[in-house]
Amino acid sequence: MFWLKTKIIEGKGSLGRLKKEARGHERVLILTSRSMKRHGFLREAEDYVEEAGAEVLSITGLPAEPSVEVIEEFLPKVREFGPDLLIALGGGSVIDTTKALKVFYDAPELNFEGIAFMDRFSKPKPVPKLRTRLIAIPSTSGAGSEVSGASVLKKDGIKYNIVTPEIAPDLAILDPRLPMTMPREVARNSGLDVLVHGIEAYTTRVANDFSDAMAIRAIKTVFAFLEKSLEGDEEAREKMHYASTMAGIAFLNARLGLCHAMSHKAAWIGPHGLLNAIFLPYVMEFNASKSDYARKRYDEIARELNLKDWKELLSAVRELNERTGVPELSKLIDEETFMARLNGMAEKAYHDGLISFNPVEPKPEEIRELYLKAYRGE
Ligand code: NAP
Ligand code: FE
């Protein structure tokens, strides 16, 4: 099966589409973060909504890498305003927060632990039909949350997913003017997440020809354009912006694997894209050493990039990390703190739902080894 719920509008200036889309709505709530206000995109979005004749309210303080506490903090404000359209204007963090708020606004009887994938061996409660319309306008080029059915939130420093088609946005507006203002580090971290999404989605057990097409195009774009985009090249930023959504469509269908399971459980250490970039080469090496299928799939990606085989792909991934300045894990966290949480992280990663899609089923002990290798930079 291949599906996509979200309608996609792309192109420079496409933020203006809000004029049309907000029409017919009474109360529109824009959820965003500081940078969007600073760079004037919030003002612009508010103007379009007002031109459409709707009442608009904006909440601007949404944090990066959100924890479940953000729901308690912002849900009362959402309820008080009573919107019939939610607009998430920002990075993956803003979009994920808005998706979670939509769930508990539309279905107040639910709670996070009840519906999140806390453990792959137990099934969460189904989410009922949700009514409030959701438009996502990504300002980073990475998470793919503007098309995905997932919202990722931290609890005690560890990330868990809510996954349901009900929170996949109804519309995604990809205006390449927005990611132009990303600082280099945000562009790099989110851009490398696109690569991880592409490579993981291409190698899961449920990938198909349709998700492959999206994954491959995204992977090729990262290798061709990420570094130029980090220099601020406009065309490259635009290409990366669309590639991010393509990778999102790939993993919406093919899901993700061990690398995301590991980064979710290490979320207390640093930003999502950066952790993924650090873990990816270790996970690829592990998958390739254990599975003919993984090697075959990595070989296919390699050939698309005019490389010989999976070994050359692995080198290319490592070199891209180096050239873009991805630090070693040991630069992000001191050894004592890391070691104290290591066993818990490995155990929790083993219980992450994404493990079921990875080409290899790792043992908790093997995940522990991978964390350690990444820490030691081996
Ligand atoms: P992000 O956490 O949304 O944004 C990182 C920072 O970039 C923010 O602090 C923001 O600063 C700044 N920023 C964003 N856009 C900017 C712009 N255009 N100009 C200047 N600054 C900008 O980064 P992200 O990589 O997109 O999202 C990461 C999150 O997405 C993680 O929580 C991860 O778990 C999640 N994720 C979700 C999915 C999914 O399917 N749902 C998939 C992958 C990742 P301000 O706060 O100052 O605005
Ligand atoms: Fe990701």
Host domain of residue 289: 184-376
Q: Which residues pair with 135 in a beta bridge?
A: 87, 171
> Structurally, how many domains does the chain consist of?
2
Q: Is residue 262 within 8 Å of residue 283, measured between CB atoms?
A: yes
Average pLDDT, the chain: 98
Which of these, 57, 1, 6, lies nearest to 28 by C-alpha position?
Answer: 57
Residue 208, domain CATH: 1.20.1090.10
Residues around ligand 2, an ion, CB closer than 5 A: 193
Atom of ligand 1 nearest to the CA of 65: 32
Task: Give the ranges where 116-175 is alpha helix by DSSP (H).
Answer: none
Mutate to test the pocket of ligand 1, among 31, 34, 35 (most ligand atoms within 8 A of CB): 35
Ligand having the closest approach to the CA of 200: 2
Which of these, 267, 273, 287, 263, lies nearest to 371 by C-alpha position?
Answer: 263
Q: Is residue 140 within 8 Å of residue 190, measured between CB atoms?
A: yes
290 and 305 housed in the same domain: yes
Q: Exposure pattern of 195-231 as b/e (b: 16+ CB <10 Å)?
A: bbbbbbbbbbeebeebbbebbbbbbbbbbebbbebbe
In a domain, 84, yes or no: yes
Give the pLDDT confidence score for residue 122 in this predicted structure: 86
Query: Ligand 1 site: residues with CB under 6 angstroms?
Result: 33-35, 39, 64-65, 90-94, 96, 139-140, 142-145, 148, 150-152, 159, 178-179, 181-183, 186, 189-190, 193, 272-273
Residue 79, domain CATH: 3.40.50.1970
Residues of the chain with pLDDT below 70 are none
In a domain, 132, yes or no: yes
Q: Is residue 149 within 8 Å of residue 169, measured between CB atoms?
A: no
Mutate to test the pocket of ligand 1, among 5, 33, 42 (most ligand atoms within 8 A of CB): 33
pLDDT in tens, 279-308: 999 999 999 999 999 999 999 999 999 999
Give the pLDDT confidence score for residue 317 in this predicted structure: 98
d(CA 90, ligand 1 centre) in Å: 7
Strand ranges (DSSP E) for 65-139?
Answer: 85-90, 133-138
In a domain, 2, yes or no: no
In a domain, 152, yes or no: yes
211 and 272 housed in the same domain: yes
Question: At a CB cut-off of 8 Å and minimum separation 6, what does 264 contact?
Answer: 152, 158, 159, 160, 161, 349, 352, 354
Give the pLDDT confidence score for residue 224 in this predicted structure: 98
Give the pLDDT confidence score for residue 201 in this predicted structure: 98
Q: Which residues pair with 112 in a beta bridge?
A: none
162 and 256 housed in the same domain: no
Q: What's the rounded Cα separation, in Å, for the pair 317 and 336?
A: 29
In a domain, 305, yes or no: yes
44 and 138 housed in the same domain: yes
pLDDT in tens, 62-80: 999 999 999 999 999 999 9
Return the structure tokens found at 332: 């992000």
174 and 188 housed in the same domain: no
Q: What's the rounded Cα separation, in Å, for the pair 41 and 58?
A: 12
